[in-house]
Amino acid sequence: MSNLYGVPTLFRIYFLLSVGLYLSGNKGFSVSAFILEVDDESDGEAELHRVWVKYEEGQHDACLHSIQNLMAMASTMAEDPSGAAARPTMKMHYDFEPLDSVVLTLDTATLTLLEQDPSVKEIVQDPKRYPMYMPDSKRTVNPNEAQDRKLLEEIPYGIRMVQADEAWSRGVTGSGVTVCVIDSGLDASHPDFESDRLTGLESTSTGTGDWRQDGVGHGTHCSGTVAATGNNGIGVVGVAPDANIYTVKVFNDDGQFAYASGLVDAANQCANAGATIISMSLGGPLWNPFEFLAFDQLLGQGILSIAAAGNSGNSGYSFPASYGGVVSVGALDDGKEVAEFSQRNDMVDISAPGVDVLSTLPTDRSCYICGEIGADTYATLSGTSMATPHVAGVAALLWSYDPSASVSEIESALVNSVEDLGPPGRDNSYGNGLVSALLALETLNGGPIGPVNPRPTPSPTMSPTIGAGDGGGEPQPCGKDELSVSIRVATDGYASETYWQLARNSDDFPVLAGAGLFDNRVYNVNRCLPSDCYTFTILDARGDGYVKILLGLLACFKFSLLTSSFIFH
């Protein structure tokens, strides 16, 4: 699969394009030149150009009539003497009336004829867009860790880094919000997605196949960061675990590239489906005036578009991220340092975790990324592609908290309520800073937000964590309305794999817990707890133990697991 995710060999023709200064919101951008790419894929046949054709105002029907005539002429000219039709030399892909334009593929001779048509105002290139992840960053976990992930749920570091868990504790999980992910599709059969929260574009007009299948793996990974299911005991969890995902598949299963026109059509499909957030982990180096106008119009319709800033590690621009109507996202590592590959320019708005991000992959190893790493279901990837869905997920949290908020209020809270990193204030590397769900929520709320149904403060007799070296004291007499609990934990040489807790059933509050234990050590825990029902849970990182036991007043349980023993009174 040569040139996958890289720009293929191209002939390039440079010419000037008169473009002024475009302003949208707080971002501006100017262009003084335009590049027309012609793929060197003709094999001796006529070169084909994929272009946007802008017609004069009010000339939609006249332009279409001219195109139809040219298509008929092209079809006739393409026939050989035997009457067999050769490769078509003209095709219309899209008709974007709100942009006064159509998108065509045509040969050089037909392009020359179209340029002379009085209904045509301008013809410009339809540039390519590529997935924005680093191919060399693909890394799976070892087989034991992979099996653990199927048994236990892990919270990726980026979730806490953007404070999504703080939003969850306040009852904000993305419920009722639809995020449209424009990418390579989604493995809808993955166990870490809830099928009733997944929809997608059923139309085959894109020519990329079923949205429920992802032959690349990129779209499934990004979607998992947005909204992988939480509290299901397996895999990972997304930033907005209760958000809905609407998928538009613009990359086919070879994953090489899409076109700006396909991206504009996909974004319009997102809007038609009711999505308020568009997540695009993709981009390319060439600016397009119609793509710019399309995302500006979507912003005016109340839709927030978010895109990857780019992976070239320089000050170049990537589009659509660098348009005024799109939020541009840079990538950080787990130490909150800007990633070496992340673009650094004056259009970067915000940053998010984008290095070694753990998320979902298709489950059958048939995807490109799966084949490269010889694994499926979960893996880590790096790129501004991975940073983008973190920001989209936080936006979903904001809109689920305040569905009546305007797009400008959401964008302002998202971009301006950040953890400032790097030099004070905005800079070209971090943008405004690291996206923060909690800070953005409090900005949107106009003040602090307390946890929903906050858990009561434990009484002095409760010890929320029993760590290494904690003997827990001697057995003690308890009051008549209290439950005496004694726990003896004997660890083996793999104590770091074990975590246990005793949680109150009424609110899942962990009144006792054990973690960070030392190898080959005996721990005794003795406590008096209020009479109540409790659940004892033990987790073993290698998947050897996952046990729940219901405890009641004066109930006595004896239980053993591997080399550890537990006694309750």
Indicate which residue of 107, 126, 148, 183 is catalytic.
Answer: 183
Are residues 304 and 326 in contact, defined by beta-carbon separation less than 8 angstroms?
Answer: no
Name the phi and psi angles at 143, rounded to 5.
-55, -40
Question: Does 218 qualify as catalytic in the annotation?
Answer: yes
Tokens standing for residue 540: 């073993």
| Residue whose pair of structure tokens reads 């009722």 in the numeric block | 176
Label the pairing between strands 258-259 and 357-360.
Answer: unpaired
10 exposure class (CB count in 10 Å sphere: 0-12, 13-18, 19+): middle
Size of the chain in residues: 569
Indicate which residue of 184, 261, 322, 385 is catalytic.
Answer: 385
Label the pairing between strands 498-504 and 534-540.
Answer: antiparallel
Question: Does 183 qualify as catalytic in the annotation?
Answer: yes
Tokens standing for residue 2: 């040569």
CA gap 329, 341 in Å, rounded:
13
460 exposure class (CB count in 10 Å sphere: 0-12, 13-18, 19+): exposed
Q: What share of the chain is helix, strand, coil (3-state, %, to 5)?
A: 25, 30, 45
Question: Does 385 qualify as catalytic in the annotation?
Answer: yes
| Residue whose pair of structure tokens reads 């590049």 in the numeric block | 35
Question: Three-state SS for 408?
Answer: helix
Indicate which residue of 218, 376, 382, 429 is catalytic.
Answer: 218
Tokens standing for residue 323: 């348009």
Contacts of 232 (CB under 8 A, 6+ apart): 153, 191, 192
> Pick from 285, 392, 393, 387: which is nearest to 342 by CA?
387
Q: What is the DSSP letter of 96?
A: E
Catalytically active residues are 183, 218, 385
